[in-house]
Amino acid sequence: MTDTTAAERMRRMRARKKAASASPILYEQPDWRDFMNRASLPRKAGCEPNQLGRVVLKELVDNALDAGADDVTLTGDERHCVVTDDGPGIDPDDVPRLFAVNRPRISSKLKRLPTRGMLGNGLRVVMGAVAALGGTISVTTRGRRSELGTNTVTGATEAIALARHGNVYDGPSMPSWYGKTDLEMVLAAAPKDLTRDEVLLDLFGTTAPADMPVDIGAVGAHTFRGYYHKVQGTSTIEGATVPFTVEAWVSCKHVENGEDTDFYWHPLINRTLALAKFYYSANSQGLRLHGCGLNFKVAGAWVELKKALLDHPRTNSVTKRITTPFGEKYEVSCSLVTPDGPNPCIVSVWIIEPPDPNPRLVTAYAAGP
């Protein structure tokens, strides 16, 4: 992509030779070996060691969805799985090259778009996992079958269902989605027979790229039941301003004493479930959430009700006083201040039993019409 004169190339060569004479010997090992090592593959795949199985199927499913497939199915069991899609497929002659671990990273995802993965390394992760875990995989595309193996893991059905919901970003890439040197690296990786303007047109739809506000899409409120909330923003990663959409649905149900209330959820980020886990547990004191860099507690409804009842006599008037053998009883009416705002009218009943001077709550009930 860069034109240099013969004199300039000679000057650079002499400079490299001069630097090399004073430098220590550098030993190089191809990074593809890390993909075939069970210990180092999770680092390449960006997951925990026990999630390698999920990663294999997640990469295959996400690749199919990102390539334009409308119907993706995942069938099988704990040892054998089949991913089928109605997408355009891969040229059969390209299968051995694309599924090879010991190749340079070749991917249309160097062009960054807010789809299921903004970087493309998926097939190398798949083949590395197959090799590291002792599995096999076969690929059938455009009527030709290539025996590369059969994977022995299972998971990732959620991405197929989610892909059918909401809206998907189909616009161009944006300059800010690349770090300081990322864009030049993309240009350098482009086919050598393309001009710089042709590559810019493919990336940004223009030869003079500029950032503009975009909606990168979401699966939407009606995908799951419950109260829905969506947060959209950007995160700075290695100089790149990466857009994100995080979605959550919240619902609740009654549980009995002793029932298990520990759960986890995979965060939904940019229309796909992440491999990271978000844990939550509930009790009478509230809801505890932790994971994905978060750790906090939300007070439960009982905590809020207790506070509102204790404040009731401070914010309302005594409407009745009764002397009993046990002490003085008081009735207080009316508004109970609640977090969600209805503030119903209730009657709270209190008693002061000597020698304790502090009132004790006896009961509370809704006030009559």
- Token pair 């300081």 is found at 180
Give the pLDDT of residue 27. 39
Pairwise pLDDT comparison (296 vs 109), residue with the higher score? 296
Q: Who's near 328: CB < 8 A, 6+ residues apart?
A: 321, 322, 351, 352
Give the pLDDT of residue 44. 80
Q: Which residues are paired to 363 by β-bridges?
A: 349
Q: What is the pLDDT of residues 175-222, one digit of tens each?
A: 999 887 888 888 888 888 889 898 898 889 999 989 988 888 888 888
8 Å CB contact between 82 and 76:
yes
H/E segment holding residue 94: none
| DSSP code per residue over 314-361 | HHSEEEEEEEETTEEEEEEEEE---TTS---EEEEEEEE-TT--S-EE
**Average pLDDT of the residues in 112-140:** 72
CA distance 172 to 219: 20
140 three-class SS: strand
pLDDT band at residue 96 using 50, 70 and 90 as cut-offs: confident
120 three-class SS: coil
Give the pLDDT of residue 30. 59
Q: Which residues are paired to 263 by β-bridges?
A: 280
pLDDT band at residue 296 using 50, 70 and 90 as cut-offs: confident
Tell me which CATH code domain 32-164 carries.
3.30.565
3-state secondary structure 268-315: EECCEECCCCEEEEEECCEEEEEECCEEEEEECHHHHHHHHHHHHHHH
Could you give the residue range(s) of every CATH 3.30.565 domain in the chain? Answer: 32-164
pLDDT band at residue 318 using 50, 70 and 90 as cut-offs: very high
pLDDT at 302 over 80: no
Give the pLDDT of residue 156. 34
Give the pLDDT of residue 108. 56
Least confident piece of the model among 4-13, 123-132, 223-232, 246-255: 4-13
Give the pLDDT of residue 252. 72
Give the percent of the chain with pLDDT over 90. 11
pLDDT at 74 over 50: yes
Give the pLDDT of residue 94. 78
